Amino acid sequence: MSNNTLFGVELPARRGFSVPIQIVEQGGISAWLVEDHSVPVVSVAWAWPQGAAADPRGKEGLANISAAMLSEGAGNLSNVGFADALMDAGIGLSFTGGRDSFEGSFRALADALPEAVRLARLAMTQPRLDAEALSRVRARALVASRQSLETPAGLARRAFWEAGFPNFTAGRLSTPESIAAIGQDDIRACLGAQLTRGNLLVAASGAIDVAGLRALLAELFGALPGHPIPDTPPLPNLAEFGVALRPKAAPQSTLVFGQDGLLPTDPDWEAFQVALRILAGGGFTSRLMKSVREERGLTYGIGAGLDLLFGRAVIIGNVQTANASVGEVWGLIRSAWTEMAVGGPTEAEVADALAFLGGSLPLQFTDSRRTANLLLNLRQAGRAPDWLAGRPARLAAIDRARVAGVAARVLKPEGLGLAVSGEPVGL
């Protein structure tokens, strides 16, 4: 591949919308670029694999805390000095330690781009890891962890992942005890293993050209070591755990439900997006929303989507309802799942879902930060640069029979797992 390859994306042709993706390479690092000088802003997003997948047992939360510490002072700048430098230049810089990735990003005015690169590089190469800052970051993490153990929503979400992946890192979530066990040496080891030029994915958007991005890649990442990051193990099948109950005194229960999805490389990926949009997508048009809210008034909202992690997707949904209605709502969810798996969608439902999917994609490119993040997500999913260009044609080729076929193949009502927290009645 050349150092500057262009993929023109028309989305959709009738509106003249295009996203020209350029491939820029420098020092073994490859970046996707959407150049746009209409607004003098540049956004850059980057990611490595692993993240929390590498957290040692008993120190769950390490990647998350390590990422937070990168913004708590670097080089000769204390945490206050570092924050002031970002604010003075109008720079937004963040790092996150996700379940299967470790990510960074910044957004800056074009005039402030050198300062953004300097501060981001300083954070990654000379983090201070001061004890006082660590105590503060740890305290915030402890509050979040305790909340996940004290609310029905947090308990149900935790129960779903623990029951669904009992012997995998996705099922090991942080606890107050694991967070308290994390020290400075653990963070140094995590960052030393994670921050490298190896396995690095980069995406950029905004007022920067190919030459500028090439120079940015060298300056921002050139001082990082080059060791590779070991591949994370593939996500196993979701365990068929039935119902996982976490009792909690509350007037409402939270239900988190789901099942295995399908691989992003599956040729029916987009056809299944159509099926899931009809069954449980956002807004008031999905079958679940009509059945549970509009017709019976049992909740304010219900939905499900594809959660992509460790190279595959999990279908996961949630709903809150009165304790007395839990059994009825769970029955309605399973009935809707069965009806879609057995009977498929109607022609009208398919047409509406396709119109939504085709029309909503351009909205993901309304600013440089959203564009950079979308490009990075596509790279993490293993998409080719021309994947976007082919999406309108792939959507246009989807018909009712194909959606019905993939719904029958993927949706397994008998395999639906349910995690519920509250004082549910009727299970």
CB 325 within 8 A of CB 293: no
Q: How many Cβ atoms sit within 10 Å of the Cβ of residue 337?
A: 26
- Residues 338, 370 share a domain: yes
- For residue 18, the model assigns a pLDDT of 67
Q: Is the pLDDT of residue 6 over 70?
A: no
- Residue 234's pLDDT band, with cuts at 50, 70 and 90, is confident
Q: How many Cβ atoms sit within 10 Å of the Cβ of residue 226?
A: 11
What pLDDT, in 10s, does the model give residues 371-403?
999 999 999 999 999 999 999 999 999 999 999
CB 389 within 8 A of CB 10: yes
- Residues 206, 259 share a domain: no
- For residue 232, the model assigns a pLDDT of 86
Task: Tell me the C-alpha distance between 144 and 148, whole Å.
Answer: 6
For residues 234-261, give the mean pLDDT.
96
Average pLDDT, the chain: 94
Q: What residues does 306 pair with on adjacent strands?
A: 315
Q: How many Cβ atoms sit within 10 Å of the Cβ of residue 46?
A: 25
Asked if the structure places residue 274 within a domain, the reply is yes
- Residues 189, 278 share a domain: no
Angle among Cα 343, 344, 350 to the nearest 5 degrees reads 145
- Residues 147, 293 share a domain: no
- Domain total of the chain: 2
Task: Tell me the C-alpha distance between 347 and 399, whole Å.
Answer: 8
Written as six digits, the tokens of 116 are 């953004």
- Residues 195, 160 share a domain: yes
What pLDDT, in 10s, does the model give residues 116-162?
999 999 999 999 999 999 999 999 999 999 988 999 999 999 999 99
At 383 the three-state DSSP class reads coil
- Residues 216, 365 share a domain: no
What pLDDT, in 10s, does the model give residues 23-63?
999 999 999 999 999 999 999 999 999 999 999 999 999 99
Task: Tell me the C-alpha distance between 132 and 347, whole Å.
Answer: 61
- Residues 166, 280 share a domain: no
- Residues 315, 210 share a domain: no
- Residues 137, 259 share a domain: no
Q: Is the pLDDT of residue 8 over 60?
A: no
Task: Tell me the C-alpha distance between 204 and 43, whole Å.
Answer: 6
Asked if the structure places residue 204 within a domain, the reply is yes
- For residue 237, the model assigns a pLDDT of 93
- Residue 14's pLDDT band, with cuts at 50, 70 and 90, is very low
Asked if the structure places residue 418 within a domain, the reply is yes
- Residues 281, 177 share a domain: no
User: Which structural domain range is residue 257 located in?
Assistant: 243-422
Lowest model confidence (mean pLDDT) among 92-96, 123-127, 167-171, 177-181: 167-171
- For residue 231, the model assigns a pLDDT of 85
> To 10 degrees, what angle do helices 184-194 and 131-148 make?
90
Q: Side by side, which strands form the sheet with 29-35?
A: 4-7, 21-26, 29-35, 201-206, 41-49, 101-109, 92-97
- Residues 315, 184 share a domain: no
- Residues 85, 217 share a domain: yes
Please report which residue ranges of 222-367 form alpha helices under DSSP H: 269-280, 287-288, 326-343, 347-360
Q: For residue 349, what is the domain's CATH number?
A: 3.30.830.10
Asked if the structure places residue 18 within a domain, the reply is yes
pTM: 0.92
Asked if the structure places residue 427 within a domain, the reply is no
